[in-house]
Each structure stands twice: as structure tokens, then as C-alpha cells.
Amino acid sequence: MDEYFERRKRMVERLKDELKISEKVAKAMLEVPRHLFVPPHMRREAYNDYPLPIGYGQTISAPHMVAIMCDLLDLKEGERVLEVGTGSGYHAAVVSRIVGEEGLVVTVERIPELAETAKKIYESLCYDNIKVVVGDGSVGYEELAPYDKIYVTASAPKIPVKLLAQLKNGGRMVIPVGDFVQHLYVVDKDEYGRVKKRSWGAVRFVPLIGEEGFED
């Protein structure tokens, strides 16, 4: 049991106590070494519950937000999931542990350097069910659509039409929407393709840049 495992264990216990996160999310977050996904000089802060800068104007989300989004998605083993905004790579790593080896996480990142760093970490951890794509995540990744679940780690001006089109009937999307005032939305598509959305609450994310996002 190294120092980082003990810190990670305490982080997960806090999230279980304070947020009542599900056992499957808690188990995944206990497994994933978050300290490997932050800059080396910040590793001692990796298990504190706040965002950290990762360069290029981006951040790694606070652990509580990763946990909340994973639980809102209601992830299941074997699902195909699209992540928009790889960032540090941590969030997709947690999702990959929940969907398991029969599942797949496709994560799209517009900044090549971040995508390459995340890919190397996944390879070192043998997380083989994650596919990293460099591109405009606001339009999704049609090659492997449709997806059971989609989540976005940056705030969009509105719910992107192209992402909705890549969501399966019966699927769910979790996405922050807004500029100065942002809300996290849970978007469900029923078996007939009808869409319903509800707001979980106020949040703060970096802006989604791209064709269906904000201008760079």
C-alpha cells in the first residue's frame, strides 16, 4: 500500500460519505491512479477535491464532478461510450473501468499534446478499452457511432445536434451547457428517438471549442 493508494482511498471514502456515490463508481475511482494524470509537480494534490491545471488552458475536473457525472450516466458493463474532451485522460479511465473489457470508451481531444499524453498513460496501465481520437469533439466521432452513453467535459453553448444524432435510442448524454452561467444537463433519448432533458444543477467547466461549440 503506497502513499498514493492511501490518499486515493481517503478521497473515495469522502465521496461515498458526502455524495453517496455508487459502489461501481467508487470501485473504479479506487482503482485508477489519479496522480498519474496530473503534472508531476502536482501529484501530492491529486487526491484533493478540486480541479487542477494540466496545461493548454485546460484542467482535470474535481473528483466529485467525475463521480457525479459517472453516476448520472448510469454506466453499465459492455457499453460503448463517447467522451468529448479527453483532457488529462482521467475521466475516461474511470469510465473504462466501469464498462469493463467488453465495453469501449472513445475519447476525442482537440489538443494533440493532451491526447498523446493520455494515450501513453493508458498504454502504461494496460487500459486497452479506450480509443483516443484527435479532432473536434463537438461533432462527435461518427465512425464508431451510435453510443450507449455520451458525456462532455466542457460547456457547450447548446446541446450539439451531431452528438444527439450519435446517441442510441434509449441512450443518455450528460453535458454542461452555458457560457457565464452553466448547468449540467442529463439528456435522455427514448426508444422512439424522442429527447428529454433535465438540469442537475449549476457547474463550472472550460468552454467547448469547435463546430458545435464556442469559437476558439
In this prediction, what percent of the chain has a pLDDT beyond 90?
97
Residue 27 domain-assigned (yes or no): yes
Residue 209 domain-assigned (yes or no): no
Residue 5 in this model has a pLDDT that exceeds 90: yes
199 is catalytic: no
Residue 215 domain-assigned (yes or no): no
pLDDT at residue 216, as a whole number: 80
In this prediction, what percent of the chain has a pLDDT beyond 70?
100
Residue 114 domain-assigned (yes or no): yes
- The string of pLDDT tens digits covering residues 38-86 is 999 999 999 999 999 999 989 999 999 999 999 999 999 999 999 999 9
Looking at every residue in the chain, the average pLDDT score rounds to: 96
Domain count, the chain: 1
pLDDT at residue 190, as a whole number: 96
Residue 47 domain-assigned (yes or no): yes
Catalytic member of 22, 61, 88, 138: 61
Residue 216 domain-assigned (yes or no): no
Give the structural domain span for 60. 3-203
pLDDT at residue 177, as a whole number: 98
- The string of pLDDT tens digits covering residues 165-187 is 999 999 999 999 999 999 999 99
pLDDT at residue 136, as a whole number: 97
Nearest to 8 by CA among 37, 25, 31, 38: 31
Identity of residue 43? R
- CATH code of residue 120: 3.40.50.150
Residue 212 domain-assigned (yes or no): no
pLDDT band at 151 (very low <50, low <70, confident <90, very high): very high
pLDDT at residue 205, as a whole number: 94
Residue 210 domain-assigned (yes or no): no
Mean pLDDT of 15-34: 97
